[in-house]
Structure 1
């Protein structure tokens, strides 16, 4: 926690993103601004901005060929390199398409926990984070007599879509750390480097089609706005930011996130967070996600997008869906979360 606070304290003070509607023109601008590394990483089999996947493919390829034409004559090496890159991107999209068809969301979250805990070669701190998650779920469903002052709904929040989704940052969408040698980050400044979770852009674009998106983090506002500008440079995905000052403090001084400050309609709002303890105020509005550090093969956002698209976005009461799908209330009959996991899922 001290290391994260040190990182967050080094960020510059940036303005809060505002929501704007995305047009095809803005979508094209966004595609032109994607760097080679991030393009290969983020473009997948998702529909974005009202375009089909094939249209996105063509837009990307045409954009790359246009860049090549402007920079060199036919037969020059820059042109060949650009064409090669376009082919690589197209091939990556085909691979993503095949991967998405293979993925099933029925084992979401617990499947990810099993994969991490079952690996002999896996970072010990990542395994410990998963164990902590299981114990946080236990605390969530067995929490009694916790006194906290519920946050009042903030004024001037206009919800234009049927659903609202609040999303955590650290270890959910990104992982930030102090700069280390020989590490290639997706973003870095003089103080810290950040890894962006694979499929993050597609995930946010898909959710933005049906839901008002908000960042809800326990980080400070300077760090949070820095990360938001990395994820949403056009300021057209997130409608607002909730940060450390908006968190609620329990009697044991732990922080939780009361999403009623966004909407009082708990049938149409969810919170996605790698810390299930944050769900205590509204335990059946929270969707957990296994923690992310730097795994370039991570597929959790891809799997989660299917669950949200097929279950949440077709529901009139998200609480019923979450309660039925995860069934974490079973944890109550055990002594702790790890014991519940070992008996229920092994």
Structure 2
């Protein structure tokens, strides 16, 4: 019996083999087109660049806040580093709590209308998220030197207006955003119709440090750090006062059933309003100085 030749073993030039290869290449092309469309759609999901310019994707937000009191005392080194005063549990503070609120991804989320996927928009609206469209002035200029107008779609975090209403009953409110005023001012006008914010601060009021830009220095608002707290989805915003911060979970339009404002943050702020000094309680809950040290930010950077 004669040996089979290489051509007989691998009949690569037969019509049947050529047809098979054409089918395989056709399927590869089909799946590549689907993959490309998915990647292209996902590229539109990030929030407006000017609304979260200081965010850090490596930070994993802390889980829902536990509202029980911890029994363990903060380490002595951490207490001395931030100069926390002793708390008199029998003393009910007469001064109102001062609550500083971030805007983007904390109270609302905003998208450039032209880049917002229709599926995401419809899903958020059908799920009941309050939303509105906004015209805001950009720092960019048109060809004739006129300010460029950006069209933005804004989604409110669930419970936003009720959160602000209830919070204003026992606290003074300040809006502090790293966003530009041309964008943030008309947005805040829409969510704060009753002018419950006593002060609004925008990007020019932030501070640049050697570790991060657009840091929110609370001493710009009050020199007394005992009764001031900042709520922000980006913890680097309060790196100068780490034991005055509450790092909340970022909000997006894909989270229509989020309950952070009313179920988690509001009860915590109510507890803090009853403290003479908010810092020991916030340190016990979040240990933010320890987290910042792990990021390579020394205690000497803190106020």
TM-score range, shorter chain: 0.5 to 0.7
Report how far residue 189 of structure 1 moved.
Answer: 3.1
Do 2:230 and 2:246's aligned partners in 1 also have CA atoms closer than 8 Å? yes
Do 1:187 and 1:195's aligned partners in 2 also have CA atoms closer than 8 Å? yes
Report how far residue 230 of structure 1 moved.
Answer: 1.2
The equivalent position to 2:280 in structure 1, one of 302, 316, 320, is 320
Give the match for residue 175 of structure 1: 109
1:246-288 deviation digits (Å, cap 9, x = unpaired): 0000124522100111111100001110010111111111111
Alignment of 1:100-139 (within 5 A): 129=57, 131-133=58-60
Normalising by the residue count of structure 1, what TM-score does the alignment of the two structures yield?
A: 0.50
Distance change >3 Å, CA 208–CA 161, structure 1 → 2: farther
Give the match for residue 188 of structure 1: 133
Cα distance in 2 between the residues matched to 1:335 and 1:165: 26
Distance change >3 Å, CA 192–CA 315, structure 1 → 2: same
Distance change >3 Å, CA 276–CA 316, structure 1 → 2: same
Give the match for residue 4 of structure 1: 49
Cα distance in 2 between the residues matched to 1:216 and 1:332: 21
1:70-109 deviation digits (Å, cap 9, x = unpaired): xxxxxxxxxxxxxxxxxxxxxxxxxxxxxxxxxxxxxxxx
4+ aligned runs moved over 6 Å, structure 1: none
2:236 maps to 1:277: yes
Cα distance in 2 between the residues matched to 1:250 and 1:165: 23
Distance change >3 Å, CA 231–CA 263, structure 1 → 2: same
Cα distance in 1 between the residues matched to 2:177 and 2:207: 12
Give the match for residue 97 of structure 2: 163
Cα distance in 1 between the residues matched to 2:197 and 2:95: 13
Report how far residue 210 of structure 1 moved.
Answer: 1.4
The CA RMSD over aligned residues, in Å, is 3.0
| 3-state SS of paired residue (1:291) | coil
Structure number with the higher strand fraction is: 2
Give the match for residue 48 of structure 1: none
2:251 maps to 1:306: no
Normalising by the residue count of structure 2, what TM-score does the alignment of the two structures yield?
A: 0.57
Distance change >3 Å, CA 264–CA 293, structure 1 → 2: same
Do 1:186 and 1:193's aligned partners in 2 also have CA atoms closer than 8 Å? yes
The equivalent position to 1:261 in structure 2, one of 220, 226, 246, is 220
1:2-28 deviation digits (Å, cap 9, x = unpaired): 9433x89xxxxxxxxxxxxxxxxxxxx
1:271-322 deviation digits (Å, cap 9, x = unpaired): 110010111111111111010001110011121111111x201100001110
Give the match for residue 33 of structure 2: none
Where do 5+ consecutive residues of structure 2 fail to align? Answer: 1-45, 63-93, 136-150, 297-303
2:157 maps to 1:197: yes
Distance change >3 Å, CA 250–CA 2, structure 1 → 2: farther
Give the match for residue 12 of structure 2: none
Cα distance in 2 between the residues matched to 1:258 and 1:218: 12
Give the match for residue 217 of structure 1: 177
Cα distance in 1 between the residues matched to 2:239 and 2:165: 28
Alignment of 1:51-66 (within 5 A): none
> May I ask how many residue pairs the two structures share in their alignment?
191
Cα distance in 1 between the residues matched to 2:207 and 2:60: 19
Alignment of 1:148-159 (within 5 A): none
